[in-house]
A and B are shown apart, each in its own frame.
Chain A
Amino acid sequence: MFINVPFDSQHERLFLALIAGLVALGLNPRCVLEVPPSTDRLRRLCSLIRACPFSIHDLSQIQLSPGPFRVPRFNMPFELGLAAAIAFEDGVTHQWRALERVPFRLNQSLSDIGGYDHSIHSGTIEGTMDVLLDIFGNAKSLSLSELDDLMWVYRRVREFRATLRSSIYRANAFRKIVATARLFAEARGIEAADAD
């Protein structure tokens, strides 16, 4: 599962929620953070997206960036464009879904995908988890499948994040967070099994 989100301190909790939620559901989140910077970065990014059967693209941060150049943020829609192109390739099974915070805004900001469903997370953790359950809820082999389970894993992952000194938008932080989420998801699964 490729996840495409704004690397933004204000968006950090939603990024953690996506990782925790996906891992709790038994999926493997992948991210551009895993692609080392190099001249071949774009090709490797395409390979990573192509290797993932699904991708999620959060297009909720559409404001102009701060700083000397007040520019829109093109990385998220660009990566969505790559995923959409890959989904059209012969012999490739790739599905993508756009996320937004505000209903109907995507119809204006990116009308080219107007014919495709997108999901609204409302900028909240629970909204993000609900979106994941809406999208993947019909899979039969989910590890955990209740909102409470996903939130349980998320809260513990957040506690782990507090132990990291640097930004979470780094390759080493990303892989540690995924591993932590996996261990907590296992623990939650064991706890649920014991309760039955």
Chain B
Amino acid sequence: MIRMAKPFTIHVNSISTPLSIEETAEKYGLTPQELRRVKAFVIKREAASGRGTSEKSTARQDKAVSGRKSRGHR
């Protein structure tokens, strides 16, 4: 049986209002060009939604990613 972990004691001040995309870009240091590219992708993707996407195949691939050998470097 898997023991459920207790939740963090969330301090109200620690969970602030989510950042806007402009605030996110500033906090993480996105260049204007990177931000434009990201926005363009999201707009294009949302415009295409409802016309049949690869979501089903993505979900299939995500069913399990466990049990694989590590090849990492950390």
Question: Residues of A at under 8 Å CB distance from B?
Answer: 6-11, 13-14, 26-28, 34, 53-54, 61, 63, 65-66, 73, 75-76, 93, 95, 97, 101, 103, 117-120, 122-126, 131, 134-143, 151, 154-156, 158-160, 163, 172, 174-176, 178-180, 182-187
Known: A183-B38, A187-B46. A139 touches B68 (CB 8 A): no
Known: A156-B45, A160-B41. A178 touches B24 (CB 8 A): yes
Chain B residues positioned under 8 Å from A118 (CB to CB): 5
Q: Which of A120, A125, A135 makes the CB contact (< 8 A) with B62?
A: A125
Top 9 A-B residue pairs of the complex, sorted by shortest distance between their CB atoms:
A123-B66, A8-B72, A26-B18, A175-B28, A117-B5, A53-B14, A183-B42, A119-B5, A75-B74
A136 contacts B72, C-beta separation under 8 Å: no
Chain A residues positioned under 8 Å from B69 (CB to CB): 10, 63
Interface of B is mostly: loop
Chain B residues positioned under 8 Å from A185 (CB to CB): 18
Chain A residues positioned under 8 Å from B70 (CB to CB): 6, 8, 10-11, 61, 63, 65-66, 73
A136 contacts B19, C-beta separation under 8 Å: no
Chain A residues positioned under 8 Å from B11 (CB to CB): 53, 93
Supply 22 A–B pairs (Cβ within 8 Å), ascending by A: A6-B72, A8-B71, A8-B74, A10-B65, A10-B68, A28-B24, A54-B8, A65-B72, A95-B8, A119-B5, A122-B66, A123-B66, A137-B7, A141-B12, A141-B15, A143-B18, A175-B30, A176-B30, A178-B28, A179-B21, A179-B24, A180-B38
Known: A27-B15, A134-B4. A73 touches B27 (CB 8 A): no
A26 contacts B15, C-beta separation under 8 Å: yes
Chain A residues positioned under 8 Å from B29 (CB to CB): 175
Chain B residues positioned under 8 Å from A179 (CB to CB): 21, 24-25, 28, 30, 34-35, 38
